[in-house]
Chain A
Amino acid sequence: MEVIKKVKDLISLMNENNLTEIEVEEEGTKIRLKRNNLDSVQTSIQLPSIKASLQEGSNKYLTSKQDKELSEIVAPMVGTFYSSAPGADPYVNIGDTVDEETVVCIIEAMKIMNEVKAETEGKIVEVIVENGAAVEFGQPLFRVEASEEGE
């Protein structure tokens, strides 16, 4: 169900950005999540309502682009994240458009430099990990905004 997926997405957004409260309205449906401590999340869903807002820990891209679909490129393995080949420019920068086959970074694992492909389509809106950082399996590396039709 759409609403359940939306709630799940919002919970992960809250976790990643350390938000305590989030309220979103989309096509007449209003979802409000509030977290009192780290373990529980209160959920309220209303069908008719007015306006989306972020109560705390405001994130510019959440407020301005909440209506666009965001996805993440995650680390396919444990290793060290490199945004570029040695001495070269980064594979991708914020604002770049990627498709499934675009190489977005390298992860060095077991002393092997592995190319990581976007495996999604859209525009890079955030590089989450710093060059040279250790990353875990499944850790988000980039946030990608789905390209809109007609864009």
Chain B
Amino acid sequence: MNSDRLLLDKIKKNLRTRVIGREIITLEHTTSTMDIAKQMLSNSAKEGAVIFSERQTKGRGRSGKTWVCPKSKGLLLTIILKPAIPPEKSYLLIGFSAVAAVKTIRDMFKLPIEIDWPNDLVINKKKLGGILIETQKETGKDTNYIVGIGINVNLNKQELPKHVDKQVTSLAIEKETFIDRTKLARALLQNLDSWYLILKEERYEYIVEKWREFCANVGRKMIIRKNNQEYSGSLVEISNSGELMLLLDNGCRKTFRIEHTIVKYLNE
């Protein structure tokens, strides 16, 4: 159905971004928009290039998982960024993109979307989408960041992927209506661009503040893994540098960095 397709002209029309969307490509299908981004980088692609695809045959999730979505039902995109950001701040790339995605969906649909720390998008604890970032380093140059975003848009209940660990949903299910993906794409690029400029201006604490505000996990009981050891406790707060402060079951407080994996949530 034609009406389901992303319309490049309409995405570009009235798009007032400064970096993100300088170049936009829409593809019928590909292995993964991440692969296309890497190919474009090897041909010296500029910062801000965006690749959309209607379908991916090898969509990637985090931690070696795949991301499956029926054709033209999701919003699948990759953005090429080259921020001169210190490596220890690179987690803010997840922060700015997660915040921009939440802002977009909250503003457009008034849905209670939140961030499942640090990079999943959830509505009432059901997964709506996620963010995956890959880096590529060219010798002697700044690191290239390839930001992948996947959002379940017009999937019906039968089309939702089966996740073992998490319930899944789509915008159409939550909103009970068909969603204009082109409009969503344009609004997302607009928000991503605004928040990327905040990142470039080094207003890091503002990004963390919003990221934390949108986070669904505070107060939840979880098991977290650090150095091959598992800890159980409830999340008290997230620090300015993105660390998780847990109140462990034994009454002690312990801090976990962003790379320590949340294994699962308890008693929900």
A117 within 8 A of partner (CB): yes
Closest Cβ neighbor of A85 among chain B residues? B60
Closest Cβ neighbor of A133 among chain B residues? B228
The docked-state distance in angstroms from the alpha carbon of A61 to that of B36 is 39
CB pair A109–B259 under 8 Å, yes or no, is yes
Q: Select the stretch in A22-30, A63-71, A75-83, A143-151 that faces chain B.
A: A75-83
Given that A87-B58, A110-B90 are known contacts, is A115 also in contact with B227, CB under 8 Å in the complex?
A: no
CB pair A101–B61 under 8 Å, yes or no, is no
Question: Which among A79, A87, A88, A115 is the interface contact of B134 at CB below 8 angstroms?
Answer: A115
CB pair A86–B60 under 8 Å, yes or no, is yes
Distance in angstroms from B127 CB to nearest chain A CB is 16
A16 within 8 A of partner (CB): no
Closest Cβ neighbor of B65 among chain A residues? A86
Contacts of B65 in A (CB 8 A): 86
Contacts of B87 in A (CB 8 A): 77
B132 within 8 A of partner (CB): yes
CB pair B60–A110 under 8 Å, yes or no, is no
The number of residue pairs between A and B whose CB atoms lie closer than 8 Å in the complex comes to 66
Which of B65, B134, B139 has the most chain A CB within a 10 Å cutoff?
B134
Contacts of A80 in B (CB 8 A): 63, 259
A100-140 CB contacts (< 8 Å) to partner B: 100-101, 106, 108-115, 117, 131-132, 134
The docked-state distance in angstroms from the alpha carbon of A47 to that of B132 is 57
B131-159 CB contacts (< 8 Å) to partner A: 132-137, 139, 145
The docked-state distance in angstroms from the alpha carbon of A90 to that of B122 is 32
Q: Per-residue CB proximity of B218-230 to A under 8 Å, as 1/0?
A: 0000000001100
The docked-state distance in angstroms from the alpha carbon of A77 to that of B257 is 14
Distance in angstroms from B180 CB to nearest chain A CB is 30
CB pair B134–A110 under 8 Å, yes or no, is no
CB pair B118–A115 under 8 Å, yes or no, is no
| Number of A interface residues in the complex (CB < 8 A) | 25
Q: Is the interface of B mostly helix, strand, loop or mixed?
A: loop
The docked-state distance in angstroms from the alpha carbon of A113 to that of B62 is 8
B119 within 8 A of partner (CB): yes
B61-93 CB contacts (< 8 Å) to partner A: 61-66, 87, 90-91, 93
CB pair A134–B139 under 8 Å, yes or no, is no
Please report A residues at the B interface, Cβ cutoff 8 Å.
Answer: 77-80, 82, 84-88, 100-101, 106, 108-115, 117, 131-132, 134
Please report B residues at the A interface, Cβ cutoff 8 Å.
Answer: 58, 60-66, 87, 90-91, 93-94, 118-119, 132-137, 139, 145, 227-228, 257-259
- Known interface pairs A79-B259, A110-B258, A131-B64; 19 further A-B residue pairs with C-beta atoms within 8 A, sorted by A's residue number: A80-B63, A82-B64, A85-B58, A86-B64, A86-B66, A87-B58, A87-B60, A108-B259, A111-B91, A111-B119, A112-B90, A112-B93, A112-B94, A112-B145, A113-B133, A114-B134, A114-B135, A115-B135, A134-B227
What are 26 A-B contacts defined by CB distance under 8 Å? A78-B259, A80-B259, A85-B58, A86-B64, A86-B66, A87-B60, A100-B139, A110-B90, A110-B94, A110-B257, A110-B258, A110-B259, A111-B91, A111-B94, A111-B118, A111-B258, A112-B91, A112-B94, A112-B133, A112-B135, A113-B62, A113-B132, A113-B133, A115-B134, A132-B64, A134-B227
